Chain A
């Protein structure tokens, strides 16, 4: 029997497994994906939001705890547990050395064209390189790993104590267990149910999943039904607007469309529906998924002209291109008359001052609803381009309620040996909204806590081991 069982194979699971092993426990990790798809959503990530009071290795300037906390408060609109949030923030300041010790590399801030932010440490090679490094380290430390091992149920006694995990008819016992099997964003039925119908349309049917196809939420549902304390709203998720041609799963980062603020966004009826100039990229990026989800057919069209080329991240698929607006409307399958009318109306309303995409500039529209409050320039320079966008789900927020020891709770009572980390409990900190790098910060902080606590619950801790050693050596 293993001391600690880890269910999941992404960042949170790996952090937990490594920490439990470091305490001396024997560890088995069960990943539902085959080896080549291992790593869940974590393989698609790029960075970790880190607090720091002074410039530190790959981080410039400072990002103090208070500022981090305020940022989190802002995006969540208060849907966050301050104690757990601050714990995450503080842990983010000190986890990088541990990550490095397991082979994770960070990208130096000076290099090339990447705008390495003050707030985030970037993984060299991205999340897949990070996941690879953790798996290598896990193998080296003797952690047992099983792929194609999707757990479908747990045996839990009346006191909320973990007894065993089940894969079909197989029963895997362990002294303690960490759940780190992600959200339910890949489960299309559940998404459908969570989002429901709007104007007679099942909106989630048109969603794309930006990450893994393996986060089916099986254990979330199991735990909910088993009476575990839950947190978060199943309809809340991180949802951005991505290229409509993105694959159904695993489109990852490259399908994002970054030119919305440089032009206008139209719906299926060739009408504008929101202020494209409202705010900077990180904010507008996160709002457009939901905005598009609420439009007919869950589709939007970002329209730009040649002036915008070279000013935004190159999209992965080529845009629809035409020499006249009329032709572009036709190519998009929209009513070309309405299309041209909307753009001309917008063009006429533009009050161009000094265009500057780097600040909230003074180019805006007048007498137009909805207004475009910044970066409003007429769309008049051929050729014209358009990109069709659909909602892309990053991850869901429904999760298990925890305390600062990452314990699963039943009716407000902590389980003695069942812990949870990562996306499965991120809702405690991130009730809604999102700010780049917080997902990995939560997974790393709580993964490490859960691993340590699980080892502890199985009778292992470095502290204890040291004491036993002292006793054996006659020092104590």
Chain B
């Protein structure tokens, strides 16, 4: 870049997509009409300049709700071409990549479709091969839901436990790196409670007025928030089902197959239904999304993750329905393969957005409790 401004920015070490956020935030900061929509704008208003860490923080605070794009007097065709959700989305992907651990795996975000496909194919083959090796002959003998007759519980616990712990470690290290670029200080109980509330209720998909966010056009809809809730709570219920089952097994409370009205099965069914409705809805909305929202290049990543969640619930529920038949072994292998692929890709796919966004919300909850250094009176 030849301009003086360009040279200064290069000196500040900003990549092109970060420069765009800095440019857009500078315009927003002197406009501020969107203040009421979400936390990005009040957080922005505490700054005069946007360095790398500010940009990463604000980008992860954005929920890509689209409200500020439709309300923007400077959106295309205006020559300022302000598109906050798009600028933020592009940088978000970069933050995931930059902060990823191990660093080399960060590039997986960039080729997420391929990563997902490979992980799924690999994990599926693994389980199918295991089935062949261990129980080849029993393949079609009804086992009445006795999963552990195929895969011993401890083997499963070890395999999934390892992968899950790795995923959590990788995400944990990533988010720690993100946090440390500019730590806002210690979190008070109030800040923690507020941030948790914002995460659990998805406050900022409410549009600031409770009527929801934008999807296909400038009309507001609550469906994106609702489908997110179905997905998130569905995922958590499935996770709870697995955890309870593991505890049952270790403490010998119940033996497999668990009856339909046992806690693990009920949690799993409820979660599975949530994960059926949520991702289906999100996919439907994703296909109808206004083309200017977010970063088109990331759609495969969004959709890949959504589809994987959907396949997880579909295979899980199918397994439950046919667990008494000869198809169980095959269904089990497929389900486990899909779940394994999900776990493997958690730290390097769309799942990360929830973790980084939660961290950004906590940063904001802490920051807003601190006095501002600026005294920029307004109209």
Contact = CB atoms under 8 A, between A and B. Distances in A.
Interface stretch (B70-78, B242-250, B299-307, B353-361): B70-78
B377 interface: yes
> Which of B34, B36, B72 has most A Cβ within 10 Å?
B36
Given A111-B42, A113-B46, A128-B73, A316 B30 contact: yes
Contacts of B35: 107, 111-114
B159 to A, nearest CB: 48
Contact of A252 (B45, B73, B373): B73
Interface in A299-339: 309-316, 318
Nearest to B48: A314
B275 interface: no
A128 B37 CA distance: 14
Contacts of A311: 374-376
Given A282-B379, A309-B48, A124 B36 contact: yes
A105 interface: yes
Contacts of A123: 33
Interface residues of A, number: 47
Interface in B12-51: 26-27, 29-37, 41-42, 45-46, 48
Given A136-B218, A282-B379, A311-B376, A125 B77 contact: no
B119 interface: no
A111 B368 CA distance: 11
Contacts of A43: 73
Contact of B208 (A115, A124, A358): A124
B376 A310 contact: yes
A113 B42 contact: yes
B375 A313 contact: no
For the residues of B in contact with A, the DSSP-based class is loop
A36 interface: yes
Q: Is the interface of A mostly helix, strand, loop or mixed?
A: loop
A355 to B, nearest CB: 12
Contact of B70 (A113, A132, A314): A132
B71 A314 contact: no
A40 to B, nearest CB: 11
B67 interface: yes
Contact of A111 (B36, B70, B76): B36
A255 B67 CA distance: 22
A314 B41 contact: no
Given A125-B36, A125-B37, A436 B374 contact: no
A112 B208 CA distance: 12
B378 A128 contact: no
Contacts of B26: 314, 316
Nearest to A115: B378
A281 B379 CA distance: 7
Nearest to A255: B30
Contact of A129 (B70, B79, B376): B70
23 contacts: A43-B73, A44-B73, A105-B211, A112-B41, A112-B45, A113-B45, A115-B379, A124-B208, A125-B67, A125-B68, A126-B31, A128-B33, A253-B31, A253-B73, A254-B27, A254-B31, A255-B30, A282-B379, A310-B376, A313-B30, A313-B376, A313-B377, A314-B29
Interface of B: 5, 26-27, 29-37, 41-42, 45-46, 48, 67-68, 70-74, 76-80, 208-209, 211, 218-219, 372-379
